[in-house]
Amino acid sequence: MTHKVLVVHPQKCTGCRICEQWCSWSHHTVVNPAKSRIAIHRLHHRYVNVPVACSQCTKAPCIEVCPEGSISRDPETFGLILDQETCIGCRLCLESCPRGCIKVDADEGMPLLCDLCGGDPQCVKHCPEDAILYLEPDKVDRGYREFHTCQGLGGEGRRRNELLGGWTGWYYAAS
């Protein structure tokens, strides 16, 4: 497995949503968060911004669940490709995504899937904080290790957890 994947770091994200701008711009030539494959979800009460992006699952539920076999991989990048001819717009892929990152294009009635911009993901390219990275699978853990030992619950994050709550478990923090 040599394809690179998207890796997000909520602790670095400021919530500027520049990634959303460029994602929708590069795919649709408009700025519209509702058409961006990546979404920044701000948990106001915890002062946290969570980038919600496709993680290129090894066994992708969106592909497996699709009743029409409309979702495939780009052989080179591993990015998702939607066959608009056969897709019926049932949204099972949206429901199955473990990160909740799939949206529906309201004009087309079709899911918006991350195609990794052909190997040059625009969200990564434009993120001013390196809060989203495009990494080889054997390197995806590095940033997290540093974070959890230096800033996370082993370090500065303990203080944050006490003060603001929810330094761990980003995706559950909202509930």
Q: Is 88 in the site for another protein (CB under 8 A)?
A: no
> How many Å from the N-terminal Cα to the C-terminal Cα in the chain?
35
Q: Does 163 interact with another protein (rule: CB under 8 A)?
A: yes
Considering beta carbons, is residue 3 or 42 the nearer one to another protein? 42
Q: Do 66 and 110 form a contact (C-beta atoms < 8 A)? A: no
Please state the closest distance from residue 31 (CB atom) to another protein, in A.
Answer: 5
44 near another protein (CB under 8 A) = yes
74 — phi, psi (to 5°)? -70, 125
What is the smallest separation between the CB atom of 118 and another protein, expressed in angstroms?
Answer: 17
DSSP letters along 110-160, please?
Answer: EEE---GGGG--HHHHH-TT--EEEE-GGGTTHHHHHIIIIISTTTHHHHH
Written as six digits, the tokens of 64 are 């497996």
Q: Choose, by CB under 8 A, the member of 76, 86, 95, 106 that binds another protein.
A: 106
Is 148 a residue that touches another protein (CB under 8 A)? no
Give yes or no for residue 21 binding another protein (CB under 8 A).
yes
Give CA–CA dist 111/19, Å, rounded: 19
Check binding of 129 to another protein (CB under 8 A). yes
Q: In angstroms, rounded to a whole number, what is the distance separating the alpha carbons of residues 74 and 85?
A: 17
By the criterion CB under 8 A, which residues form the site for another protein?
11, 14-18, 21-22, 24-25, 29-35, 39, 41-45, 47-49, 106, 126, 128-129, 156, 159-160, 162-164, 174
